[in-house]
Structure 1
Amino acid sequence: MQARDIAIQVPTVRLTDSIAHAIQVMALGRLPGLIVIDAEQRPRLVLPGTQVLRLAVPAAYQDDPALTRAVDEAHADVFWHELRDRTVGDCLGTHTPRPVVAKETATLLELATLMARQRSPLVAVVDGAGLLAGAITLDRMWSALALTRPDD
């Protein structure tokens, strides 16, 4: 079985999309992360859900967790609205990791190894030209592995 056999289409975002939009895409698509693409449909980043959450939490709260206790419950529930006008690109910082990408011909072992090594529940699958052809979620990987049986 190859990546093209289990890849699915997932919604993507761009660096210019707002954090609010990125969160909505991930939540509505029930995705374990996001694929950020460029104008040519090439994956620029693959962000696990925890990294998306990190983008959504204002830096002041991450730098000083004691500040979180000073925020009342009503405001704590909508903390991420403070970033409403900020884009995915604005929140990334200077060091951006290479995207977690596999070719359409990658085997299950290659995919599983990539996901484990990169600690990513999402892999972008690209065609021969490097364009996004689909994605493999961790759930999809588990399903594919469960359906395969060694030859008896």
Structure 2
Amino acid sequence: MQARDIAVQVPTVALGDSIAHAIQVMALGRLPGLIVIDGEQRPRTVLPGTQVLRLAVPPAYQDDPALTRAVDEAHADVFWHELRDRTVGDCLGAHPPRPTVVKASATLLELATLMARQRSPLVAVVDDTGLLAGAITLDRLLSALALARPDEG
């Protein structure tokens, strides 16, 4: 079985999209992360959900966790709205992580190895030209592995 056999279309975000939009795409799509694409539909980076969350938490709270205890509950529930004007690109910085990408012909073993090594529950699948062809979530990979049977004979 190859990556193309289990890849699915997932919503993506662009560098110019707001952090709020990125969170909504991930939440509404029930995705374990996000694929960030450029204007040509090439994956720029793949962010596990925890990294998307990191983009959403204002830097002041990350730098000083004690500050989080000073925020009342009503404001603590909507903290990420403080970043409404910031884009995914703004938060990634000048050197975003390399995308977790495989070619459509990659095997399940190659996928599993990449996901494990990169600690990413989401992999972008690209065609021979490098354009996004789909994505594979950890759940889809594990399901494919669980259903795979060794050849008999």
Between the aligned partners of 2:94 and 2:44, the Cα distance in structure 1 is 14
Superposition deviation, residue 94 in structure 1: 3.1
Aligned to 1:137: 137
Output one character per residue of 1:114-146: Cα deviation in whole Å (capped at 9) or x when no partner. 000000000000000000000000000011001
Residues 43-82 of structure 1 aligned to structure 2 (within 5 Å): 43-82=43-82
Which amino acid in the other structure matches residue 4 of structure 2?
A: R
Superposition deviation, residue 93 in structure 1: 2.3
Q: Normalising by structure 1, what TM-score?
A: 0.98
Q: What runs of 5+ residues in structure 1 fail to find an aligned partner?
A: none
Between the aligned partners of 1:24 and 1:13, the Cα distance in structure 2 is 10
Aligned to 1:12: 12
Which amino acid in the other structure matches residue 18 of structure 1?
A: S
Residues 1-152 of structure 1 aligned to structure 2 (within 5 Å): 1-152=1-152
Which ranges of 4 or more aligned residues in structure 1 deviate by more than 6 Å? none
Q: State the secondary structure of the residue aligned to 2:11.
A: coil
Q: Identity percentage over the alignment?
A: 88
Q: What runs of 5+ residues in structure 2 fail to find an aligned partner?
A: none
Give RMSD over aligned pairs: 0.7
Q: State the secondary structure of the residue aligned to 1:133.
A: strand
Output one character per residue of 1:43-81: Cα deviation in whole Å (capped at 9) or x when no partner. 000000000000000000000000000000000000000
Q: State the secondary structure of the residue aligned to 1:70.
A: coil
Between the aligned partners of 1:39 and 1:144, the Cα distance in structure 2 is 32
Which amino acid in the other structure matches residue 4 of structure 1?
A: R
* Number of residue pairs the alignment of both structures matches: 152
Between the aligned partners of 1:97 and 1:78, the Cα distance in structure 2 is 27
Which amino acid in the other structure matches residue 130 of structure 2?
A: G
Superposition deviation, residue 106 in structure 1: 0.1
Superposition deviation, residue 97 in structure 1: 1.0
Q: Normalising by structure 2, what TM-score?
A: 0.98
Which amino acid in the other structure matches residue 84 of structure 1?
A: R
Q: State the secondary structure of the residue aligned to 2:105.
A: coil
